[in-house]
Structure 1
């Protein structure tokens, strides 16, 4: 009887682990042990608010079947985390509709301004050809550092963006591949900023910590599995 019970419990444990690994907006046992936390529960808007007020937008964003959607021309505005973050690994699954534009910002301290992991349909959106040498394409540090043209992006599917911050060192990853890394708060960083659209913002990107932001750019974009590991 004990052997049978042990086998049943082992089967249950394996099934639960497999379910967690494949389920959306759920942490696996390994992630929980490592200290990961969900930034979005897949059901409510808890933990998020409008970048311009203390409430979540009343329009422009929908929660549908475990997916947080920016609605096309919904005019809901950007949303930010209610908390601020310093050193972290952030993972976000995103899916672009054709021609869409959005972004994930971090070190946001005021007015929705912060460093941006660009989310863009490089083929169809004109912003991909703007800026300098591709620094407004998918995965780029928007208007500052270009992601490589040969990156592991899957059109019309969910992709995983990852942002790694450790002090002044920052990395952008896409689908498990590191696509850019940089150091901030130094002379080269200031030169980059002064040559960008952010040159009029004093100390842009230098904050020790800030909010995380999901951008509403008037296009339909889907987000899920938003999770963070603070370091």
Structure 2
């Protein structure tokens, strides 16, 4: 069968369009481009082999996998930390919080303090509308907890999936929530020291002093979901 010029042109257009379309990974997978760029999965949707409970060798059973997401099913599971520590990195993940829920993403976490947040800066996760910790803008979701408030444009309602990106390179910390930049500050700078001095962490010895630490997912007693957890080490 001989194709008309018009038919050939249409076929060529469809082929070029298909080739130019971006390739998106399914949940908890990496695209070929991400793999080539050095990204790694911290959760594959099937097991939590790259995580353990804070100060414990394994993951508490109250952390389960539900519908392809790491899920805190009940309080008392303890905070999760990545088995590996990181210094310079870019981290992306998706999260969803239950109604009246509270949780967080922590960086540079160590196990020297009593709690995971003793020394680790936290990116807040919150039901901004219902949780009682919504009185301060630095306590709303996406905020660098008790230090830098996130813009309202970055907020979503409880029960909706959110995306978070955290980049830490040579102490320069930048955070985005739902593609909106929420934090840009250098740890240890005069600006940082002023923020700490005016926060609850002012009298906490060792806070944010580590140069290397674990990624943490907080158990604040409320149901929370995490998926698509990816990390790329820098330098």
Query: What is residue 178 of structure 1 aligned with on the other side?
Result: 181
- Shift of residue 155, structure 1, vs aligned partner: 4.2
Judge conservation of contact 2:128–2:157 (CA < 8 Å) in 1.
no
CA distance in 1, matches of 2:131, 2:228: 25
In the superposition, the TM-score normalised over structure 2's length comes to: 0.84
CA distances 1:97-126 after superposition (whole Å, capped 9, x unpaired):
111100000011233120101010111111
The correspondence of residues 75-154 of structure 1 with structure 2, limited to 5 A, is: 75-110=76-111, 111=113, 112-113=116-117, 114-130=120-136, 134-153=137-156
Any unmatched runs of 5+ in structure 1?
Answer: 1-10
Rounded Cα–Cα distance in structure 2 between residues aligned with 1:30 and 1:213: 26
Aligned-CA RMSD value: 2.0
Distance 1:22 1:28 in 2: 5
Task: Please give the residue correspondences for 1:213-224 in structure 2 after superposition, counting only pairs within 5 Å.
Answer: 213-224=216-227
Please give the alpha-carbon distance, in whole angstroms, between the structure 2 residues aligned to 1:193 and 1:152.
Answer: 24
Larger radius of gyration: 2
Alignment of 1:29-44 (within 5 A): 29-44=32-47
How many residues were matched structurally?
Answer: 212
CA deviation after TM superposition for structure 1 residue 34, in Å: 0.7
- Name 2:66's counterpart in structure 1: 64
List 4+ stretches of structure 1 deviating above 4 A. none
Question: Which secondary structure state, in structure 2, belongs to the residue aligned with residue 81 of structure 1?
Answer: strand
TM-score (norm 1): 0.85
CA-to-partner distance for each residue in 1:66-124, whole Å, 9 max, x for gaps?
11101133x11101011100111101110111111000000112331201010101111
Report the Cα distance in structure 1 between the residues aligned to 2:102 and 2:143, rounded to whole angstroms: 13
